[in-house]
Amino acid sequence: MTDLSLLLGPISALVFAPLIPGIINRTKAVAAGRTGQPLLQLYADLLRLFRKGAVYSRTTSWVFTAGPAAGLSCIAVSLTMLPMGGVPGAMAFTGDLIVMVYLMGLSRFFTAAAAMDTGSAFEGMGASREVQFSVLAEPALLVGLAAVALAAGPAGLFDAAPVVNGFRSLSEIYSGLTLSVWANDGAILLLAAAALFIVALTENCRIPVDDPTTHLELTMIHEVMVLDHSGPDFGMILYAAALKLWFFLALLSGLLIPVRSENLWINGISTIIGIFFLAVGVGLVESMMARLRLLRIPQLLAGALSLAALALVLVLWG
Amino acid sequence: MKIVIEALIVLLILTNLKLIASSRLSACIRVVAVQGVLLGLMPLIAGQEALTLRIAALSGLTMLLKGVVFPWLLLKTLRSANVRREIEPFVGYAASLMIGAGLLFLAIWMSRQLPMPFAVTSPLIMPLAFFTMMIGLFAVVSRRKAITQVLGYLVMENGIYAFGLVFAQHEPLLVELGILLDAFMAVFVMGITIFHINREFDHIDADRLSALKG
Amino acid sequence: MIFLLIGVPVLAGIVAFFIRPGWMPRLLLLAVAVTHAGLTVSVWMVQPAPVLDGWLLLDAPGQLFLSITSLLFLMVSIYAVGYLAREDWGSRQDFKEGLLFTNARESVFVCCLLLFLGTMTLVTVSQHFGLLWVAVEATTLVSAPLIYFHRHVRSLEATWKYIMICSVGIALALLGNFFLAVAATFNGQEHIPMLLENLMDNASALHAPWLKSAFIFMLVGYGTKMGLAPLHTWLPDAHSESPSLVSALLSGALLNCAFLAVLRIYQVCAAAGMDAYGRSLLVGFGLFSMLIAATFIVRQIDFKRMLAYSSVEHMGILSLGVGLGAGGVYGAMLHAVNHSLTKAMLFLAAGNIIAVYRSKSTREIRGVFSVLPMTGVLWVGGFLAITGSPPFGLFVSELLILKAALDQGRWGVAIAYLALLSVIFIGMAAIFCRMAQGHASGLPAAGATPRGFKTTLFNEPLLSVLPPLALGVLTLVLGLYIPEGLHRILELAAAAVGGF
């Protein structure tokens, strides 16, 4: 389908992603009774960082410079395959679900490698924590998406990618999540959404897994990995983080908002509005909870895995 | 209707998982109370027969006993024992959740081995019953505090009660009342014993009651 | 009549709770025991009518176990009168660790004893599986305060284990009940009532996989209460920490009632044609129980625990007897009678020894013959009886079970059975003989002998010696001659459970 509406997904991501951290910060500030940063603060930060020069340590190698670039490019490529609710991704194909999850893994690998390349103890510690939590979060993500895939009905309007052996692309799965599917299997989709929400909080380093505003290195997970990057590198990392947050919120929004009409523009815009609402939700969750003790985070992720497994069980045998 | 029953069953499964993932004892007691109330609601909503006075009365009595009386007794005992959390059980909490998920699969497998000779309200009730029972047994075996063991016993009874809901209850009224009365007396006696254990030993760790050996 | 059998103990128990301690509760206990025994004797003459639509009915196995229970309770009550009079009701010192402890209130003790009799009677007359379950669970709850009579840490631990393990086991038996109900349901609406008679009449129509699962769950559940290994772990603790007269009742009467529950589901299975499946399970559990008991009896340091493990062994023999079928079932029924009498005698004698020596150690106690002559005779006589020496009754029953095994050509079972019996004999011989013979040692400091242990019958109180003596004489008589009435009941019971 050579519809201009297919470009809505990637372009809206590239343009609007830095707005999401702004919305979250604003929500937290309003909940705390402050005025808070401007909504467009991250845009200003990115502009400032891209105009500065970078400082590289003498102990680092090419891995250190490759880290941010690899991270940003992986996320950007996944965005082309990401469905925005009823709008299929620009480059959807069978099995793109697995490719997207592993592109995330690849970007995480490069970030962790760049962190360990500096030889600093803090960053190595942050890298090990981040990877450990991802080990537990990835099964939850895959099992949750598997449950959604099995629960989704046939895709009415999207027929670009062929269905090979019953496997479908993520776009086709999402196109099949209509209101009737919600009426029949609402419990399953809710459970999968809860699991995906916890995974989203983990992967994007939000409370209750990680406090993004902490300044104590020993308590950091993601922030400490990128401690030594500066200038354009740091700008690329911040932008990639915002895109990753957009990615997960788009997955959730497409799952939770069953608007699947003929007009792709309506689908896309409703999903984007859903993403903004979910950002407010993340901000509220961050305001209400404190960060969990590090020992409790595997339990939280095991809980997410249990929810996803429960959804899968229900869809298979319910 | 199907979605209401399914929602109830999913909630019950979630209460089981919450029970084995919680370390705070008061949270565990409240979870078992919620489970009791939900189970009391089941015959009203998911029953295959028409609603009679008997079903309504039994349902109400079950909700009262399991949702109010038992948790009240146990909370009283908990307060007198001055214990807050179950620290260091035999099986850690993350591992418990994994085992819980595994037990769910086992319960589904078991219910497929025993096909019902007649139609049931939802194919999920039997796995729910087996799952609840296994979670109760797991709680009895893997926890140290005596109160958690009593909760495990209560959850086992809940699971068996859930199984009784699978087929329209034909047990005569006397037997159902007897079962409820027995559960009440059991919890009462257990509560008193825990009170005595706390007085004698100054703790309620059942695994430290190991003087009698051989 | 059946209402009286159940109602009299239960009402008396409730009344006993409110009476002031002293001679009144003991008199009430004795009166109820005598009344109950009298009612049981009348049951032998005139078969009582079934009540409540056949829910409560006294058939042959029920009558047998009811008689055992009633007789044991009578003897134990006579013993209890003396025991409660001698007990020190203030704060006293524990003989093992020197901790201070008190006893429970006498009225609570007597109340629970009477309720215990009532609930056990209910088990023997129940024909409805649901009611049977309620009664067995009730016996657990009512006997727990009896175990916790001496209020110290060890008995508390024993009580907790007893409550927890037995309740979990009985919950599994409840699941078995539900499985049985499913096996008996057709088309979702029609449903055979859960009465033994109805189930046996329609046995071929029951759904097989559900009946098999029901049997397993009920065997495991009621087997926990019965003391079959590996579900017996509560038994040594509970039977050794409770007062001796309570241990006598637990070992002699309660285990039998649990066994009766197992027999009921076995009857249904046999009627449905699945007795081969049931029998193999019973034989397996039986031999395993004997093995566990043999392992723990040898070199046991606490003689009440040794007696408890001996109960595990004999429950294993009962299970084995029923599992072998044919003549073994008659042997098992006779064994139930003999074991109850002998074990009660041994526990009461053990109570006398503990009262004087203030110790349960098999290593330290010596010379029971010289200190307590009558008890010494009962002790060694009881040892000979419980290990199956002629001319006591257990010899006959164990021989019948062996004969059943040999008749069926099951050499492995027979050899294992004999080997384990020998190991147990040797283990117990070492302990009993060493305790009874030699110079008196292991006695507490002088002046610590309890009051009342002074006059009549060779230095011992009458009420402590007569009950075990009576039980011992009965066991001896049964080894030489089985009365016609008893033989008829045993045959009927064996026939009901699938033997001849």
Sort out which chain C residues have CB atoms less than 8 A from B116's CB and list them: 182
Q: Do B14 and A314 touch (CB under 8 A)?
A: no
Please state the φ and ψ torsions of residue C103, each to the nearest 5 degrees.
-95, 165
Nearest CB neighbour to B101, from listed A184, A298, A306: A306
Q: What element of type H or E holds C214?
A: helix C208-226
The size of the A-B interface in CB pairs under 8 A is 50
Distance, C-alpha C244 to centroid of its chain: 13
The mean per-residue pLDDT over the stretch C377-392 comes to 91
Q: Do C134 and B157 touch (CB under 8 A)?
A: no
The b/e string for C74-93 (b: 16+ C-beta within 10 A; e otherwise) is bbbbbbbbbbbeebeeeeee
Pairwise CA distance, residues A272 & A85, whole Å = 9
Q: Do B97 and A187 touch (CB under 8 A)?
A: no
Percent of chain C clearing pLDDT 70 (strictly above): 93
The b/e string for C200-222 (b: 16+ C-beta within 10 A; e otherwise) is bebbeebbeebbbbbbbbbbbbb
Give chain C's mean pLDDT.
Answer: 87
Q: Do C138 and B182 touch (CB under 8 A)?
A: yes
| B89-98 pLDDT per residue, tens | 788 887 888 8
**Lowest-confidence pick of A104-113, C90-99, C433-442:** C90-99
Q: Do C296 and B214 touch (CB under 8 A)?
A: yes
C481 Cβ contact list (under 8 Å, min separation 6) = none
Place of tokens 């590198």: A233
Q: Do C130 and B196 touch (CB under 8 A)?
A: no
Sort out which chain C residues have CB atoms less than 8 A from B137's CB and list them: 168
Sort out which chain A residues have CB atoms less than 8 A from B101's CB and list them: 305-306, 309-310
The pLDDT of residue A137: 93
Q: Do C213 and B117 touch (CB under 8 A)?
A: no
Q: Do B197 and C133 touch (CB under 8 A)?
A: no
Mutation for B interface: C51, C178, C312, most B CBs within 10 A:
C178
**Pair of tokens at residue B32:** 């078992």
Q: Is the pLDDT of residue C492 over 70?
A: yes
The pLDDT of residue B50: 66
The size of the B-C interface in CB pairs under 8 A is 122
**Pair of tokens at residue A263:** 């007009």
Q: Do B214 and C209 touch (CB under 8 A)?
A: no
Nearest CB neighbour to A299, from listed B93, B123, B127: B93
The pLDDT of residue C450: 56
Q: Is the pLDDT of residue C449 over 60?
A: no
Chain B: nearest CA to C455, how far in angstroms?
36
Residue A211 · residue A293 · CB < 8 Å: no
Pairwise CA distance, residues B153 & C129, whole Å = 21
Query: Can you list the alpha helix ranges (DSSP code H) found in C148-195?
Result: 153-183
Q: Is the pLDDT of residue C499 over 80?
A: no
Sort out which chain C residues have CB atoms less than 8 A from B185's CB and list them: 138, 141
Chain A: nearest CA to B124, how far in angstroms?
6
Mutation for B interface: A179, A293, A310, most B CBs within 10 A:
A310
Q: Do B97 and A310 touch (CB under 8 A)?
A: no
Nearest CB neighbour to B17, from listed A183, A306, A314: A306
**Pair of tokens at residue C264:** 């009921």
| C271-282 pLDDT per residue, tens | 888 888 889 999
Give chain A's mean pLDDT.
Answer: 87
> Where are chain B's structural domains?
2-212
- Give the chain B residue nearest A303 (alpha carbons): B97
Q: Do B214 and C305 touch (CB under 8 A)?
A: yes
Chain B: nearest CA to A148, how far in angstroms?
16
The pLDDT of residue C361: 85
- Give the chain B residue nearest A299 (alpha carbons): B94
The pLDDT of residue B23: 83
- Give the chain B residue nearest C170 (alpha carbons): B157
Q: Do C141 and B185 touch (CB under 8 A)?
A: yes
A68 Cβ contact list (under 8 Å, min separation 6) = A111, A114, A229, A233, A234, A236, A237, A240
- Give the chain A residue nearest B19 (alpha carbons): A303
Q: Which of C124, C127, C126, C167 is nearest to C143 (CA)?
A: C167
pLDDT band at C454 (very low <50, low <70, confident <90, very high): low
Sort out which chain C residues have CB atoms less than 8 A from B113's CB and list them: 209
> Where are chain C's structural domains?
285-500
Residue C246 · residue C84 · CB < 8 Å: no
Q: What element of type H or E holds C101?
A: strand C100-103
The pLDDT of residue C455: 46
- Give the chain B residue nearest A295 (alpha carbons): B94
Nearest CB neighbour to B101, from listed A191, A309, A318: A309
What is the mean pLDDT of each successive set of 10 residues along chain A, which is 318 residues long?
73 92 94 91 94 89 92 92 84 85 92 90 89 91 90 61 62 80 83 94 89 79 84 92 94 89 84 94 92 86 89 82
Residue B41: C-alpha distances to residues B14, B44, B53 (Å): 16, 5, 14
Low-confidence ranges of chain B (pLDDT < 70): 1, 46-50, 118-121, 166-175, 214
The pLDDT of residue C195: 82
Pairwise CA distance, residues A201 & A210, whole Å = 9
C-contacting chains (≥3 CB pairs under 8 Å): B
- Most confident option among A274-288, C22-36, C78-92: A274-288
C314 exposure class (CB count in 10 Å sphere: 0-12, 13-18, 19+): buried
| C209-252 pLDDT per residue, tens | 888 889 999 999 999 999 998 889 899 999 998 999 999 999 99
Sort out which chain A residues have CB atoms less than 8 A from B124's CB and list them: 314, 317-318
> Where are chain A's structural domains?
3-317
Residue A249 · residue A200 · CB < 8 Å: yes
The pLDDT of residue C124: 93
- Give the chain A residue nearest B94 (alpha carbons): A299
**So what's the ipTM on this one?**
0.86
The pLDDT of residue A274: 93
- Give the chain B residue nearest C309 (alpha carbons): B214
The pLDDT of residue B1: 65
Q: Do B140 and C164 touch (CB under 8 A)?
A: yes
